[in-house]
């Protein structure tokens, strides 16, 4: 198939999923065209079967708000026509599904009356935050209903979209995935630990875009409690608006030498595979991709019991779940693991097993392929 993929190319779960999906599909012989305003962050190096088309937004002085969604729709239509795409797959409803809807209309009304079905994948904040804003809700609902196929990345998100948006379409849950051959704890990882933990300290990790929803300061609070009892280091992967709050808190607590801000990383798996425990104290996660990537690398997640996270982590088996803001309990769970090697090994193996048996790309990508085929069959 020839598939156009649109996503937010910056650091964020939906862009990561869209990019990894494109890479996996290309690996399986499909022709993939990314259409976005910048090259997706994990799309590094040349890949056979992958093309990237940049969307230029003109900055005319009259445009206080340059109309990206219109430029995107135009580019979607152009690329689809030129490369004879079979369908578009947009990640994150706002504004991507609206642009795809326009592109579909433009091509249908054109001289060739081309059909261009589009699939929308809902990721989370497009529904739980942004879509709830009254100024976006009606058009988000409309573009979801107009989609030729809709998927959600967890049962929680599917159920919430149906309930709160009163969506009539059938929404299929296709879980997020991880490449279990790449996200793996390679035997070399143990050797590289000393780069960050020269005295054999334990390693905790956090991976996010440092947005307020991630409650990054809770990560520092938890680590502070753990570090008082067990010599340890905290690796923070990513960047975003709450980084300076976290830095400031670490300095205030006098633990900044043990809190290592690594910034945005291309090869996230290499860093994850060094850690013992992952902290994910988010206010809300409709899935928690970071936890899954950690689990595949045998890192035990300690997360909040929110949204779709319980669909990924089984409390007490493949990780621990606690209430939002309960940093005491999360620190207690971390200490339980970091002071008991057998328990840590047992849970890290269970975490790996869950990622392998339920969320491996080899399991999930065929679900997308089937979904595309059904959408194409319906719209032919």
User: Which residues here bind ligand GMT, judged by CB under 6 A?
Assistant: 12-15, 17, 92, 123-125, 153, 176, 208-209, 213, 284-289, 307
For ligand GMT, give the closer residue by CB, 164 or 336.
164
The distance of closest approach from Cβ of residue 210 to ligand GMT in the complex, given in angstroms and rounded to an integer, is 10
DSSP string, 259-328: EEEEES-S-HHHHHTT-SEEEE--S--SS-HHHHHHHHTTPEEEEES-TTHHHH--BTTTBEEE-TT-HH
In the three-class reduction of DSSP (H, G, I as helix; E, B as strand; rest coil), residue 378 is classed as helix
Handedness of CA 308, 310, 312, 313 (dihedral sign): positive
The distance of closest approach from Cβ of residue 132 to ligand GMT in the complex, given in angstroms and rounded to an integer, is 13
The distance of closest approach from Cβ of residue 366 to ligand GMT in the complex, given in angstroms and rounded to an integer, is 19
For ligand GMT, give the closer residue by CB, 185 or 214.
214
Instruction: In whole angstroms, give the CA distance from residue 78 to residue 125.
Output: 29
The distance of closest approach from Cβ of residue 300 to ligand GMT in the complex, given in angstroms and rounded to an integer, is 18
For ligand GMT, give the closer residue by CB, 80 or 125.
125
Instruction: In whole angstroms, give the CA distance from residue 240 to residue 238.
Output: 7
Question: Nearest Cα to 31, choosing from 51, 2, 53?
Answer: 2
For ligand GMT, give the closer residue by CB, 76 or 127.
127
For ligand GMT, give the closer residue by CB, 5 or 284.
284
The distance of closest approach from Cβ of residue 243 to ligand GMT in the complex, given in angstroms and rounded to an integer, is 14
Question: Nearest Cα to 347, choosing from 317, 327, 375?
Answer: 317
Sheet holding 149-152, edge to edge: 50-54, 31-36, 2-6, 87-91, 118-122, 149-152, 171-173
Q: How far is CA 267 from CA 1, 49, 112, 211, 262, in A?
A: 28, 21, 43, 21, 12
**Is 276:299 a contact under the CB 8 Å cutoff?**
yes
The distance of closest approach from Cβ of residue 175 to ligand GMT in the complex, given in angstroms and rounded to an integer, is 9
For ligand GMT, give the closer residue by CB, 24 or 285.
285
For ligand GMT, give the closer residue by CB, 255 or 322.
322
The distance of closest approach from Cβ of residue 294 to ligand GMT in the complex, given in angstroms and rounded to an integer, is 12
């Amino acid at each position: 198939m020839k598939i156009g993929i649109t996503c937010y190319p910056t650091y964020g779960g939906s862009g990561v999923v869209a990019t990894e999906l494109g890479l996996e599909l290309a690996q399986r012989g499909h022709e993939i065209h990314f259409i976005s305003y910048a090259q997706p962050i994990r799309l590094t190096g040349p890949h056979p079967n992958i093309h990237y088309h940049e969307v230029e937004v003109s900055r005319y002085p009259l445009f206080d708000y340059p109309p990206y969604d219109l430029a995107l729709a135009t580019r979607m239509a152009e690329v689809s026509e030129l490369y004879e795409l079979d369908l578009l797959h947009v990640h994150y409803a706002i504004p991507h599904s609206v642009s795809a809807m326009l592109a579909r209309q433009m091509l249908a009304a054109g001289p060739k009356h081309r059909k261009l079905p589009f699939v929308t994948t809902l990721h989370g904040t497009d529904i739980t935050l942004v879509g709830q804003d009254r100024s976006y809700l009606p058009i988000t609902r409309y573009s979801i209903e107009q989609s030729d196929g809709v998927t959600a990345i967890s049962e929680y998100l599917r159920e919430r979209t149906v309930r709160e948006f009163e969506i009539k379409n059938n929404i299929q849950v296709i879980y997020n995935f991880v490449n279990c051959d790449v996200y793996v704890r390679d035997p070399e990882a143990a050797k590289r630990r000393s780069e960050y933990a020269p005295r054999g300290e334990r390693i905790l990790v956090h991976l996010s875009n440092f947005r307020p929803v991630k409650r990054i300061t809770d990560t520092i609070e938890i680590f502070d409690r753990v570090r008082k009892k067990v010599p340890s280091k905290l690796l923070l992967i990513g960047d975003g608006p709450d980084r300076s709050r976290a830095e400031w808190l670490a300095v205030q607590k006098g633990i900044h030498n043990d809190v290592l801000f690594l910034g945005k990383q291309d090869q996230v798996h290499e860093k994850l595979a060094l850690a013992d425990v992952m902290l994910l104290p988010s206010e809300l996660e409709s899935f928690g991709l970071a936890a899954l990537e950690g689990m595949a690398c045998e890192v035990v997640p300690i997360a909040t019991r929110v949204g779709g996270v319980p669909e990924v982590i089984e409390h007490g088996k493949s990780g621990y779940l606690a209430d939002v803001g309960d940093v005491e309990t999360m620190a207690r769970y971390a200490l339980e693991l970091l002071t008991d090697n057998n328990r840590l090994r047992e849970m890290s193996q269970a975490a790996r097993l869950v990622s392998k048996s339920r969320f491996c790309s080899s399991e999930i990508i065929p679900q997308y392929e089937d979904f595309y085929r059904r959408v194409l069959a319906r719209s032919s």
